[in-house]
Amino acid sequence: MVREWDPLTASSAEIASLLDTLNAVLAADLPQDPPWRASSLREYLSEVMPGERRISWVAEGDPTADGTPGPMLGHVNVLLLGGMGVLEVLVRPELRRTGLGRELVRVAARRVWDEGFQSIGVEVVGDTPAVAFYEALGFTREYVETRSVLDLGTVEWPALAEMATEVGAGYHVEFCPGGPPDDLIEAYARAKAEVRDVDDGELRPSSYDPQRLRESLDTLHRRGMKPYIVLALHEQTGEVAGLTEVVVPAQHPTRADQYDTIVVRDHRGYGIDRAIKARMLLELRSAEPELAEVQTWNAQANEAMLKVNAELGYRPDRDWCEYSVDVAELVHRLDNQR
C-alpha cells in the first residue's frame, strides 16, 4: 500500500524504518558511502526553503493482525520548486524489479501534474539501477557531473598548510563557521551572483540575493546541516573575491559536502581557489574531529577546478547525472503501463 506520509508528524518507528530503508539502499548501490544516522533526519525530510513544498509517500507491507503497521518497503518524495518537481525514490533492494519503483513514481507524478507543474527532475547516480529505471520511464539525461571524494587520511597536512598561505598580496582569508557574518552577506551574495557558471555544486541549491542567501543558510541549519565558509576578502575594496562552502550534515557527519567554490573574475590568477580550499580543510580538521572525507561535484568541463581538486587529493568517484521528463508525458506513460 502506498500512502501519503508527513515526516514532521511521523512516529519515531517510521523515521527509524525510513533510515533503515535508506541505509539498505546505500549499502546496495553506494557501498563506499557512510550509512546515515537518525540525527535531525526528521528535520532533513521536512524542512524546506520558503516558497517550496515537499510531499512524501511511503509504501508499506500489510499490517499485522493486531493493527501494527507493516514494514516500510519504499519511499518517494517530491520537492516542488519553481516550475518543477524534484523527485527522490527509494525501494528496498530485496524488493526491486517488482514494479514498486514505477508505482511510487506514478503516485508522485500524478500529484505534480495535479498541482500544475510542468516537469520532473531527478539526480541519478551513475552505475546504479536507477539509470535503467529512469530511462525506462522516459526520463532524458540533461547534465552529467563527476563526484570526487577526498579521504582526509591521505592529506599531507604540512603541504596543505603551506598552500593555505599562498595567496596574492592584498587578500585576507577568513574562516566563518555557521555562515558569512551579517555585514558581509551583501558582498557574499554579489560574488555568488557574478560567477554562476564556475561553481562546484551545480546540483546543489545556490542563492544569489541577500534575502535568499539568509533563508538558505537558515534552512540548512534547520535541516541539521552545518555550513562552514572560507572567504577571501579584497582588502582595498572590501569585496568578497572568493568563497568556498562546505556543509557537514548531522545525518552523515563523517562525510562532508563541498558546495560552491567561487573566485570572482577580476580576482583570478592570485591563488585564491587553492588557498581557500586548503584553509577550509585545515579548519575542518579541528572543528569536526569525526570528519573523514569530503565529497564534491564538478562539471567535466571545469578543468581549472578539477586540477586544484586533484592537487588537494580528491579522487573521481562516479558520474552524477541530472535527468528530467515532461510531467504530462510521464503521467500518460505510467497510466498506460498499469
Ligand X SMILES: CC(C)(COP(=O)(O)OP(=O)(O)OC[C@H]1O[C@@H](n2cnc3c(N)ncnc32)[C@H](O)[C@@H]1OP(=O)(O)O)[C@@H](O)C(=O)NCCC(=O)NCCS
Beta carbon of residue 325, minimum distance to ligand X (angstroms, whole number):
13
What x-and-dash track marks residues 87-106 binding ligand X by CB under 6 A? -xxxx----xxxxxxx----
For ligand X, the closer CB: 76 or 230 = 76
* 25 touches ligand X (CB under 6 A): yes
Number of residues that bind ligand X (CB under 6 A): 22
What CA–CA distance (Å, rounded) separates 72 from 92? Answer: 9
Beta carbon of residue 297, minimum distance to ligand X (angstroms, whole number):
14
Beta carbon of residue 79, minimum distance to ligand X (angstroms, whole number):
14
* 136 touches ligand X (CB under 6 A): yes
Stretch that binds ligand X, among 34-42, 48-56, 109-117, 125-133 (CB under 6 A): 125-133
* 132 touches ligand X (CB under 6 A): yes
Answer for which of 34, 69, 129, 138 binds ligand X (CB under 6 A) is 129
Which cell numbers in the block locate residue 21? Answer: 530503508
Stretch that binds ligand X, among 127-135, 169-177, 211-219, 266-274 (CB under 6 A): 127-135
For ligand X, the closer CB: 32 or 300 = 32
Beta carbon of residue 2, minimum distance to ligand X (angstroms, whole number):
12
Nearest residue to the partner ligand X, using Cβ: 101
Beta carbon of residue 256, minimum distance to ligand X (angstroms, whole number):
17
List, in order, residues 6 or more apart from 55 with CB less than 8 Å away.
4, 77, 78, 80, 108, 111
Contact between 74 and 104 (Cβ < 8 Å): yes
For ligand X, the closer CB: 124 or 240 = 124
Using CA atoms, how far residue 18 sits from 61, 73, 171, in Å, is 13, 9, 47
Dihedral sign, Cα of residue 160, residue 163, residue 165, residue 171: negative
Which cell numbers in the block locate residue 143? Answer: 547534465
The closest alpha carbon to 338, from 36, 53, 102, 70, belongs to 102
Beta carbon of residue 255, minimum distance to ligand X (angstroms, whole number):
13
Strand order in the sheet with 225-234: 2-5, 53-60, 72-81, 84-91, 119-125, 315-326, 140-151, 293-299, 255-263, 240-249, 225-234, 171-177
List, in order, residues 6 or more apart from 299 with CB less than 8 Å away.
143, 145, 202
Within residues 63-92, the interface with ligand X by CB under 6 A covers 88-91
Residues that bind ligand X (CB under 6 A): 25-26, 29-30, 88-91, 96-102, 125, 128-130, 132-133, 136
